[in-house]
Structure 1
Amino acid sequence: MLWVAALILAAANFIAVLNMTIANVAVPNIAGALGAATSQGTWVITSYAVGEAITVPLTGWLAARFGAVKVFVGSMILFGVFSIICGLSTSIGLLVVARVFQGLCGGPLMPLSQTLLLRIFPKSKAGAAIALWSMTTLVAPVVGPILGGWLCDEYSWSWVFLINAPIAIGFGLYAWRLLKPYQALGERSRIDLVGLGLLVIWVAALQIMLDEGKNLDWFSSPQIVTLAIVAAIGFGLFLIWELHEPNPIVDLQVFRHRGFTVSVLTISVAFAAFFGVNVLTPLWLQSFMGYTATIAGLATAWTGVTAFFVAPMAASSKRDPRLLVFAGVLWLGLVTLWRTIATTDMGFWDVAIPLGVMGLGMPFFFIPTTSLALASVDEREMDSAAGLMNFLRTLSGAFATSLVTTAWSDRITYNHAELVGVADRDHALLGQLTQAGTPPETATQVIDHLITSQSVMLSTNQVMTAIAVMFIGAAAIIWLAPKPGRSVEPGAGGH
């Protein structure tokens, strides 16, 4: 029964991580089906990430107040319920709201599934249990794009969300029967309501500003200016309050450790870059390269496939974690630079091979960076540090989605305007097409299509260049951290 519990807990982590990537390839399908722009379709990704980011730092308080098992089971069941609402949504607004609540429920699943594993397993078997749990963190990003693409192509986008329901609700109900003996009594601890309110306000205001900025012409819009002011003031008040609150919802005191601060900065910048690549690639492949959701998912999944096989090397390495992180993140940056010479004539393997090579560096970023961050704080602060690290990592992914899709769209418009001025200036191509019997209107459309495809390709390469610079910058940042005086198990704190 112990290993059945381990499978349930691993499955909870699996669906939480899966939902970060499964919707990426479904964005064009969702946007088309619900009559929304592609930029609005990306709200499906960012809304989940923001919801999850809000509850991750709350997990410790929730577990102490209501008991870890109750919170875990409740989160699982509600995750399934909101997955059903997502799948049955008839408008982009309802879907985004449901995704926020799905993210709020998904946030506690990752840290609690790990905490409960360590609680129910004896120390002699804890390593094997954590290994099983860690595997789901690497497998889920591989399965997500493939499963999401296949469901969209063979059935409909709704099944991307509906597939969660039987797993989450069924396992949640069974988990209560199985884990009830491990339920600890809750304690009447006070929640930092002011801190929570300020957290929700500044995160929500900033994310809405990033999502809506392009549509409202950024700071020429009073709405965007208002959101920016609310986010800035909310963030400032949040920092002041949390630094002076005796029981803060987010313990900012852990930032006094230089190793933790530098590690988290590296994680945030590099994960934002990584998430940007993961969002942009399937959008580009499906919207302009003619890939189906399934084929786009198969191409992007190669990153996770190679990472899965290299992960044991990263986990068992005894080298200075700063060196491993530097090498891993630099590798991601160099491979992303390789991707900046992409062309519209590329085939499937021309896209998949660089993504597979990129995956070789992933474990050397994720695993040692987490270990270095947690090894830099006092043992009593590890839970707070892990929650804060996951919060900032998740938030950086949400922000990256908005920034990358906006920058990509803006560059497409700019490149198109530039190319129109230089393409076929002597009208030679137009003349060839009309002489071949093509009607003038059709010939003009053909030329415009060629210009658009090249504008998109240029934009994709330009954004990839910016992402590569982010990776290289993040790799350099890690050397600001001192060498850790102790080591932490790779599973601690979750990835």
Structure 2
Amino acid sequence: MSQANAVHPPLEGAKLVIGTIAVSLAVFMNVLDTSIANVSIPSISGDLGVSSDQGTWVITSFAVANAISVPLTGWLTQRFGQVRLFMTSIVLFVLASWLCGLAPTLPFLLAARVLQGAVAGPMIPLSQTLLLASYPRAKAPMALSMWSMTTLIAPVAGPILGGWISDNISWPWIFYVNIPVGIVAAIATFAIFRERDSAIRKAPIDTVGLSLLVIWVGSLQIMLDKGKDLDWFNSTTIVVLTLIAVIALAFFIVWELTEEHPVVDLSLFKLRNFTGGTIALAIGYGLYFGNLVLLPLWLQTDIGYTATDAGLVLAPVGLFAVLLSPVVGKFLPRTDPRKIATAAFLVFALVFWMRSRYTTGVDTFSLMMPTLIQGIGMAGFFIPLVSITLSGLPGSRIPAASGLSNFVRIMCGGIGTSIFSTAWDRRSNFHHAQLVEQANLYNPNFNASMQQFGAAGFNQPQGYGLFNSMATQQAAQLGVNDLFYISAGIFVALIALIWITKPERSGGGDSAAAASAAH
């Protein structure tokens, strides 16, 4: 960012405010769309006349296209310039959203979602780049912490807003809501940033690297999405997809490390700060996102919550995150970011330990208290970790580095979701088998239960069915508790990764560089 600031002086007054709002609106629209469609799949599937299983491709198609385009940010920036690429991403995102809403068939909708995911990729890394170039170096951490509130609120707002729109209006409006937001963001971006573009360098197109990237990322994303439905490696399809992904990834790594103009700069992993920070952030985010999917799913399937109520239980996470993010931004330049990140990981560990003690009779207060505390961890999680990741990098490498770091994070989010959903099934089955072992005539507790059921008017088959239903609910509870407990332990272990880094102390510009890429 130092180069950008040397060419273009920081913005001031109204231009600075409008520029920050424009960038934040674009990112809010982007992040919202990663989660807003999730709760609307039944409505979309029913309206288009397809199964819910086919409907999940609405999510997968966006995720695959997005995951492929994110690491291309650095190369695309060199080819087209930061502002031009950012503007194009916003305009095409609005167009794709309009097409999604108009979709008369599932193939049409999937094509529009692929376009939407592809053009969304560069938006988050570039929004950070433009924002840092707009503020004085000393105010960069504060600027990014204020901006990061956008991406803390959007993932929580997505399912709530999507559910409400699907229930009360119609599913196309989950896409149409992007249009006015995107138009405002595009106009404001053009007005403020059009004279502040970066230099363009016509780097050759690495067609082999790009092709290999599409193959291995696409295969991996589809494998993760369909693994649970197809019983993982008992399915020939999953085995073939895994082999394709592994082989293509191996060729991709070798090719990119030897190519003169790689489409993804893997040499960044030679840097200790980038590697340690990226891995800690990615695994931590994978745990967070896996649990973010697991918690409402458990609440809806086993505790009897509606989709909207489950979303509201998650809402308090934004309170402390919004209140404390500016505080973190203020103190970050004067504090070792490793200490803030360590504190955040300990807060996450505490939160998941608290959740591991849930019972089937859990009340709303007990559900919301850990979520409220989690906001403290969120405020100190993203910004310090990505500050470490990109510490000491020259401005010219930040778009590529933030794109690659963001890519690894997105992939770990998808992997975390798949692992958690599968592990919950298997731990629940394990606990169910243990519980029903007690269902025999030699167990006095079981006999007492059957007598109670009989006194309540149930015959023997009905009593057995009721016992099995209770065992199923208890097994699901024990399974989810196992995953919360394991998550707590992994967050503690990840602290070691934070302390293998040695972030450079600076005036705040480098240390906060690309904090937004964490979202």
TM-score between the two structures when normalised by the length of structure 2: 0.84
**Pairing 1:9-20 to 2, within 5 Å after superposition:** 9-20=23-34
Tell me, yes or no, if structure 1 residue 244 matches structure 2 residue 258: yes
Q: Which residue of structure 1 lines up, in the alignment, with residue 11 of structure 2?
A: none
- Give the stretch that moved more between structures: 107-116 or 232-241: 107-116
In the alignment, the residues of structure 2 paired with residue 109 and residue 244 of structure 1 have an alpha-carbon distance, to the nearest angstrom, of: 28
Q: CA deviation at 1:288?
A: 2.2
- Give the stretch that moved more between structures: 351-360 or 60-69: 60-69
Aligned pair in 2 of structure 1 residues 299, 31: CA closer, same or farther (>3 Å)? farther
Q: CA deviation at 1:375?
A: 0.9
The letter for the 1-side match of 2:78 is A
Aligned pair in 2 of structure 1 residues 420, 165: CA closer, same or farther (>3 Å)? farther
In the alignment, the residues of structure 2 paired with residue 302 and residue 447 of structure 1 have an alpha-carbon distance, to the nearest angstrom, of: 36
Q: CA deviation at 1:144?
A: 2.9
Aligned pair in 2 of structure 1 residues 51, 229: CA closer, same or farther (>3 Å)? same
The letter for the 2-side match of 1:324 is I
8 Å CA contact 1:87, 1:161 repeated in 2: yes
Q: CA deviation at 1:130?
A: 4.8
Q: Deviations over 1:274-328 (max 9, x none)?
A: 1111111111122222222222111112112221112123222222222221221
Q: Which residue of structure 2 lines up, in the alignment, with residue 202 of structure 1?
A: 216
8 Å CA contact 2:164, 2:308 repeated in 1: yes
Aligned pair in 2 of structure 1 residues 252, 211: CA closer, same or farther (>3 Å)? same
Q: Which residue of structure 2 lines up, in the alignment, with residue 316 of structure 1?
A: 330
Q: Identify the match of residue 490 of structure 1 among 497, 504, 512.
A: 512
- Gaps of at least 5 residues in structure 1 are none
Q: Deviations over 1:461-488 (max 9, x none)?
A: 1222232232222222212223535452
C-alpha RMSD of matched pairs (Å): 3.2
The letter for the 2-side match of 1:297 is G
The letter for the 1-side match of 2:18 is V
Q: CA deviation at 1:265?
A: 1.1
Tell me, yes or no, if structure 1 residue 111 matches structure 2 residue 131: no
In the alignment, the residues of structure 2 paired with residue 351 and residue 456 of structure 1 have an alpha-carbon distance, to the nearest angstrom, of: 16
Tell me, yes or no, if structure 1 residue 392 matches structure 2 residue 414: no
8 Å CA contact 2:61, 2:113 repeated in 1: yes
Q: CA deviation at 1:430?
A: 4.0
8 Å CA contact 1:81, 1:169 repeated in 2: no
- Give the stretch that moved more between structures: 44-53 or 199-208: 44-53
Q: Which residue of structure 2 lines up, in the alignment, with residue 356 of structure 1?
A: 372
In the alignment, the residues of structure 2 paired with residue 297 and residue 319 of structure 1 have an alpha-carbon distance, to the nearest angstrom, of: 35
SS at match of 1:344: coil
In the alignment, the residues of structure 2 paired with residue 155 and residue 280 of structure 1 have an alpha-carbon distance, to the nearest angstrom, of: 27
Aligned pair in 2 of structure 1 residues 69, 108: CA closer, same or farther (>3 Å)? same
- Give the stretch that moved more between structures: 244-253 or 286-295: 286-295
Tell me, yes or no, if structure 1 residue 471 matches structure 2 residue 491: yes
The letter for the 2-side match of 1:392 is V
Q: CA deviation at 1:273?
A: 0.6
Q: Identify the match of residue 459 of structure 1 among 472, 476, 479.
A: 479
Aligned pair in 2 of structure 1 residues 172, 319: CA closer, same or farther (>3 Å)? closer
Q: Identify the match of residue 269 of structure 1 among 283, 297, 310.
A: 283
**Pairing 1:178-189 to 2, within 5 Å after superposition:** 179-182=193-196, 186-189=200-203
Q: CA deviation at 1:78?
A: 2.5
8 Å CA contact 1:326, 1:476 repeated in 2: no
Tell me, yes or no, if structure 1 residue 166 matches structure 2 residue 160: no
Q: CA deviation at 1:120?
A: 6.0
Q: Identify the match of residue 213 of structure 1 among 227, 251, 255.
A: 227
Q: CA deviation at 1:239?
A: 0.7
Q: CA deviation at 1:55?
A: 1.4
Aligned residues: 494
In the alignment, the residues of structure 2 paired with residue 98 and residue 110 of structure 1 have an alpha-carbon distance, to the nearest angstrom, of: 20
In the alignment, the residues of structure 1 paired with residue 458 and residue 389 of structure 2 have an alpha-carbon distance, to the nearest angstrom, of: 63
Aligned pair in 2 of structure 1 residues 108, 74: CA closer, same or farther (>3 Å)? same
Aligned pair in 2 of structure 1 residues 491, 259: CA closer, same or farther (>3 Å)? closer
Aligned pair in 2 of structure 1 residues 124, 381: CA closer, same or farther (>3 Å)? closer
8 Å CA contact 1:259, 1:484 repeated in 2: no
The letter for the 1-side match of 2:409 is R
Q: CA deviation at 1:418?
A: 3.2
In the alignment, the residues of structure 2 paired with residue 353 and residue 31 of structure 1 have an alpha-carbon distance, to the nearest angstrom, of: 35
- Give the stretch that moved more between structures: 49-58 or 114-123: 114-123
Q: CA deviation at 1:238?
A: 0.8
In the alignment, the residues of structure 2 paired with residue 280 and residue 26 of structure 1 have an alpha-carbon distance, to the nearest angstrom, of: 17
Tell me, yes or no, if structure 1 residue 331 matches structure 2 residue 347: yes
The letter for the 2-side match of 1:243 is L
Q: Which residue of structure 2 lines up, in the alignment, with residue 407 of structure 1?
A: 423
In the alignment, the residues of structure 2 paired with residue 52 and residue 208 of structure 1 have an alpha-carbon distance, to the nearest angstrom, of: 13
SS at match of 1:341: coil
- Give the stretch that moved more between structures: 24-33 or 145-154: 24-33
Tell me, yes or no, if structure 1 residue 227 matches structure 2 residue 247: no
Q: Deviations over 1:390-428 (max 9, x none)?
A: 111111112211221122223333333333332475554
The letter for the 1-side match of 2:385 is T
Aligned pair in 2 of structure 1 residues 124, 275: CA closer, same or farther (>3 Å)? closer
8 Å CA contact 1:46, 1:401 repeated in 2: no
SS at match of 1:304: helix
In the alignment, the residues of structure 2 paired with residue 113 and residue 482 of structure 1 have an alpha-carbon distance, to the nearest angstrom, of: 26
Aligned pair in 2 of structure 1 residues 307, 126: CA closer, same or farther (>3 Å)? closer
Q: Which residue of structure 2 lines up, in the alignment, with residue 302 of structure 1?
A: 316
The letter for the 2-side match of 1:370 is V
Tell me, yes or no, if structure 1 residue 279 matches structure 2 residue 293: yes
8 Å CA contact 1:257, 1:376 repeated in 2: no
Q: Which residue of structure 1 lines up, in the alignment, with residue 390 of structure 2?
A: 374
The letter for the 1-side match of 2:466 is V
- Give the stretch that moved more between structures: 285-294 or 371-380: 371-380
Aligned pair in 2 of structure 1 residues 180, 381: CA closer, same or farther (>3 Å)? closer
In the alignment, the residues of structure 2 paired with residue 379 and residue 72 of structure 1 have an alpha-carbon distance, to the nearest angstrom, of: 17
In the alignment, the residues of structure 1 paired with residue 164 and residue 249 of structure 2 have an alpha-carbon distance, to the nearest angstrom, of: 41
Tell me, yes or no, if structure 1 residue 79 matches structure 2 residue 104: no
Q: CA deviation at 1:438?
A: 3.5
Tell me, yes or no, if structure 1 residue 383 matches structure 2 residue 378: no
Q: CA deviation at 1:366?
A: 1.0
Aligned pair in 2 of structure 1 residues 292, 30: CA closer, same or farther (>3 Å)? farther
In the alignment, the residues of structure 2 paired with residue 188 and residue 341 of structure 1 have an alpha-carbon distance, to the nearest angstrom, of: 57
TM-score between the two structures when normalised by the length of structure 1: 0.88
Q: Which residue of structure 1 lines up, in the alignment, with residue 6 of structure 2?
A: none
Aligned pair in 2 of structure 1 residues 52, 43: CA closer, same or farther (>3 Å)? same
Q: Which residue of structure 1 lines up, in the alignment, with residue 7 of structure 2?
A: none
In the alignment, the residues of structure 1 paired with residue 223 and residue 253 of structure 2 have an alpha-carbon distance, to the nearest angstrom, of: 20
